[in-house]
Amino acid sequence: MRLYSTKSKESFVSLEEAVFKGLPDDNGLYMPEAIPKLPDAFLKNLISHSFQDIGFEVCKHLFQGVIPDDDLRSIIENAINFPAPVVRLDDETYVLELFHGPSLAFKDFGARFMAQMMSYFNLGNNRELVILVATSGDTGGAVAAGFYKTPGIKVVVLYPSGKVSHLQEKQLTTLGENITAIEVDGTFDDCQALVKQAFLDKDLTKNIRLSSANSINIARLIPQSFYYFEAYKQLPEDRRPVVFCVPSGNFGNLTAGLFAKKMGLPVHQFIAATNANDIVPAYLNTGEYQPKPSVPTLSNAMDVGNPSNFARMFDLFGSTWNNFKQDLKGYAYSDSQTEAAMRQVFSEYQYVIDPHGAVGILALREYQAAAKASIKGVVLETAHPAKFLPDVERILGRKVDVPDRLAELAEREKLAVRLGADFGSFKEWLAANY
Ligand SMILES: *Cc1c(COP(=O)(O)O)cnc(C)c1O
């Protein structure tokens, strides 16, 4: 397997290099040179394969022998160790629950798989690898949990003091072992600047093997394609077309769905659902891609003003607006529409959906209203509603069940190193500890 940069299709890197570098030097994004179709026999018989079998088959065809079968199996078994069930709301509406992992959001799939891949490629290297991550809340928790107790790898998560939710802070600061949280007196941008500066610092990089766990790492995208097959497999077998509706921010999830379709999954249509940060729906309408500063919304994990995977989608769509708008529909909704959808889903189906999933329901309904025939619509439920407890309880006017693994967190002790936002203190701390 080789990967190119969306900015230069002439030079290639290995999977290992793409995983450790995260981003190409030219600031493009890594893409697989080929996304092969899976064998028909496999696609026709998904029902007889486990979620892990599906992951194995996808990777085997994509990686083309880079990782021996036995190793690949154990990477997948370690990374994908929780289910992705489909819940039926009605005959045309299904919800794919992606929140059964440790941080209760779909990002666990990507973070865990990336951790396994890095650990695999790091084997035999006896220099410890130190991963630096800056987080505004969500990603850090998934990455920290993904790398928890991974041999040979230490993780340092930087987060802005007082600017992440109580629960998010607990997810970052209570793991211990190989995970260290740094509470920075500053903003998320300060955290990101500290990480960037560390990579540029020759003293540090001479003595410490540093890497990043960037959200655009190709190793985070690949496992997100597995669950489109897994969802398809759970739908009733009939001839109606299947559409996937994806609540989107940076469009990693949606891009992974496009990978699944290229690999042969018979998806009739992808639908992008966004909140007020409607850059992609606007692009589908006008043909002009206009990033803008993000605005805060109820579905805050989708508050993105310049979606980082746009370049990957553009590349997959053959770099034309025409293909783009053929293969992708896009709709955007306000917070008040989102709240109404959450209440409607609860009153009609007694199903508690989180604000991100509710944006997806709205988009599916709009698409269905215009469609001529009956379809099977699958909405990706990207996080557990208990992650947004105060909002969800206020909107639904009732208590919401909190999963045990979340409730337990509240009891655990916070452990964090507190630092200023100046690079000097961070550098000193890194040098003294690694
Ligand atoms: C990250 C996230 C999203 C957005 O996913 P993208 O792949 O960036 O489009 C949606 N919902 C939740 C809950 C998230 O954490």
CA 331–ligand 1 middle distance (angstroms): 16
Check: CB of residue 141 under 8 Å from CB of residue 172. Answer: yes
Catalytic residue among 107, 154, 170, 376: 107
CATH code: domain of residue 268: 3.40.50.1100
Per-residue exposure over 264-285, b if at least 16 CB sit within 10 Å of its own CB, e if not: bbebebbbbbbbbbbbbbbbbe
**Exposed, middle or buried: residue 380 (CB in 10 Å: 0-12, 13-18, 19+)?**
buried
Within-domain flag for 374: yes
Check: CB of residue 254 under 8 Å from CB of residue 248. Answer: yes
pLDDT recorded at residue 231: 98
Q: How far is CA 375 from the centre of its chain?
A: 26
For a ligand 1 pocket test, name from 248, 328, 354 the mutation site with the most ligand atoms within 8 angstroms of its C-beta: 248
Running along the chain, 434 residues long, what does each successive block of 10 average in pLDDT? 94 94 90 97 97 98 97 97 98 97 93 95 90 86 92 94 88 94 92 90 93 88 98 96 97 97 97 97 96 92 92 94 94 98 98 98 97 94 94 96 88 94 96 94
Contact 55 CB / ligand 1 (< 6 Å) = no
Tokens of 157: 């998560």
Question: What span, in angstroms and rounded, lies between the C-alpha atoms of 388 and 301?
Answer: 11
Within-domain flag for 343: yes
Phi/psi of residue 320, nearest 5 degrees: -130, 145
Within-domain flag for 353: yes
> Residue 245's beta-bridge partner residues?
271, 379
Phi/psi of residue 319, nearest 5 degrees: 55, 35
Contact 111 CB / ligand 1 (< 6 Å) = no
Structurally, how many domains does the chain consist of? 1
Residue 417 is classified by DSSP as: E
pLDDT recorded at residue 42: 97
pLDDT recorded at residue 89: 98
Tokens of 112: 């865990």
With DSSP H G I counted as helix, E B as strand and the rest as coil, what are the percentages for the chain, rounded to 5? 45, 20, 35
- Residue where the block lists tokens 């799939």: 109
CA 239–ligand 1 middle distance (angstroms): 30
pLDDT recorded at residue 49: 98
Within-domain flag for 408: no
Within-domain flag for 195: no
DSSP string, 287-324: S----------SSGGG--SS-TTHHHHHHHTTT-HHHH
For a ligand 1 pocket test, name from 29, 106, 164 the mutation site with the most ligand atoms within 8 angstroms of its C-beta: 106
Q: What is the pTM of this model?
A: 0.94
For a ligand 1 pocket test, name from 250, 302, 392 the mutation site with the most ligand atoms within 8 angstroms of its C-beta: 302
CA 368–ligand 1 middle distance (angstroms): 23
Domain that holds residue 312: 83-102+221-400
Within-domain flag for 3: no
pLDDT recorded at residue 166: 84
Check: CB of residue 275 under 8 Å from CB of residue 303. Answer: yes
Check: CB of residue 66 under 8 Å from CB of residue 15. Answer: yes
Within-domain flag for 373: yes
Within-domain flag for 328: yes
107 catalytic per annotation: yes
